[in-house]
Amino acid sequence: MQPNRRYWLITGLLLTVLISACKKKDQAAGPQAPPINDSIYSVFKDIYLWTDVIPDAATFKPDNYPTVDSMFNALIHIKKNNTNGDNLDRYSFLDNGTTSRALQGGMLGDMGFEVGYQTDTTLYVIYVYPGSPADKAGIKRGWQLTSVNGVTRFLVGRATDNMLNAAFGSSGATWIFRKPDNSTQTISLSPANYKLNPVLYANTFNFNGTKVGYFVFNNFVALADVKPTFDSLFTTYEQAGVTRLIIDLRYNGGGLLETAEYLANKLAPASLNNSTMYTQSFNNNVNTNNYSPLFRGMKAVPYNPGYFWTDIFRQEATTYKTTNFKKDGALALTNLSFLVTGNTVSASELLYNVLKPSMQPHLIGRTTYGKPVGFINITFAQYDMYAVCFQIFNSAGEGSYFNGIPPTIDTKDDYTTNWGNLNDPLLRTALTDMGIPASQMGRMAAPLNNTNRLAIPHPNNRFQGMIQTRR
């Protein structure tokens, strides 16, 4: 009998709490298990997508590194980008289980909002999670942050980064905001647990009878956690006669692959049924089932302890090598656009890429992050290892966008407008691109000063990955 297949995670720059340092329970069997540096190195070399560039143990000497983190960091800096000579692996990491808990359990324990630089000296709220402390306090996207614990001067750089990360990570902080009407509000917030709802906004626009659906999706969490929301949303779009759809993924770092597949099947035309959605590519060790003795003896704890990890990889490289479309629902789209930025990663990019050959969706915004690869996370002692082990290609064989996917229309983001506001340049550009006349969207407000240097939102230590997880 085969183990139940539960698609893991496919992800990139993600939740504010996802990446910390790292810790979990050694699966190397028996008292003769090698030291953890050796264990991680050995399995890394077995499954790493670019294993051909990794030296053998005698050359690399994993036990010469004083910490697991320093050893792992050295490993992932070996593979270079052929285009520019930079490190190609911007993705692999070690984690303490936070990533899996947040995406699969859907629980967060933070303040629930994030800020970014509109200019080098101004900070704005870029999103708020529903049900979070920030949401309950009434904070909205587009509010300007003017003070954090008494600090009123901000400048792109390490000092402000450290101050913001300390405030977000504290047991409580006081924030002062300027609202769009120029009034100010002082709010004290403390972290709290809340259920993650990644659908930040949804609406159906009616432009003289033309129905355009629009929703903001921030994380590809486990399908069970978001499916009821999406089922209801897509039913609403079908009943309203929506034929044009805009999906806002501008800060979506990715998540579970099962959720990306679900959305692709909702969006795809019925004519794609049983045709290829994507294929997975692994290294030659995985393709030929050729592993070290250590990895052969490791059971797939905690995902399916009745099976070995080699069973999981074997199935991925054979049974699940190709995934086909299975149309779900009656939505029939004539236009599909995604709003994207450099913070659009992994599952977000995959969703566009698998629909590209048949639907030619448009990308509005900026070049995406560039992550066509992913992980199957494996536990060692206190560590979860996320080492790049597979690459995904669409039905046309496209899947090497390591430098990002360029937009159809290049448009700057603007943190000063709330979701659904027709002055939002990305949303307005997408609507115009779909043929909605400017006269039906109202007058465009004059944009605020923008240095065209919109910083990566805080914190900078965000999850980057495309992961497959099993139960």
pTM metric for this prediction: 0.89
Query: Rounded CA gap, 409 and 421, in Å?
Result: 19
**Where does CATH 3.90.226.10 sit in the chain?**
199-279+308-373+392-446
Query: What's residue 449's pLDDT?
Result: 56
Query: What's residue 100's pLDDT?
Result: 64
Query: Rounded CA gap, 114 and 134, in Å?
Result: 10
Strands of 322-324's sheet in order across? 322-324, 276-281, 388-393, 373-376, 467-468
Domain 111-195, CATH class in plain words: mainly beta
| Topology (CATH) of 199-279+308-373+392-446 | 2-enoyl-CoA Hydratase; Chain A, domain 1 (3.90.226)
* 301 band by pLDDT with thresholds 50, 70 and 90: confident
Q: Report, as an integer, the average pLDDT of 299-308.
A: 83
| 365 vs 12, higher pLDDT | 365
Does 397 have pLDDT greater than 50? yes
Query: What's residue 455's pLDDT?
Result: 45
Range in 29-33, 256-260, 288-292, 312-316 the model is least confident about: 29-33
| 430 vs 158, higher pLDDT | 430
54-101 pLDDT, tens digit each: 999 999 999 999 999 999 999 999 999 988 889 999 999 998 766 666
Nearest to 359 by CA among 383, 387, 394: 394
Q: Report, as an integer, the average pLDDT of 5-27.
A: 32
Give whichever of 53-57, 156-160, 458-462 has the largest mean pLDDT.
Answer: 53-57
Contact 161, 460 (CB under 8 A): yes
* Radius of gyration from C-alpha coordinates of the chain: 23
- 255's torsion region: left (phi>0), alpha (psi -120 to 50) or beta? left
Query: Rounded CA gap, 360 and 398, in Å?
Result: 13
Query: What's residue 375's pLDDT?
Result: 87
Query: What's residue 29's pLDDT?
Result: 38
184-203 pLDDT, tens digit each: 999 999 999 999 899 999 99
| 35 vs 384, higher pLDDT | 384
**Where does CATH 2.30.42.10 sit in the chain?**
111-195
Query: What's residue 452's pLDDT?
Result: 43
Query: Rounded CA gap, 282 and 156, in Å?
Result: 40
* Average pLDDT taken over every residue of the chain: 87
Amino acid at 342: G
Query: Rounded CA gap, 278 and 397, in Å?
Result: 9
Query: Rounded CA gap, 177 and 155, in Å?
Result: 17
226-276 pLDDT, tens digit each: 999 999 999 999 999 999 999 999 999 988 899 999 999 999 999 999 999
Max Cα–Cα distance, the chain, nearest Å:
74
Q: Find the distance separating the first CA and the last CA of the chain, reported in whole Å.
A: 15
Contact 337, 323 (CB under 8 A): no
| 25 vs 74, higher pLDDT | 74
Amino acid at 353: N
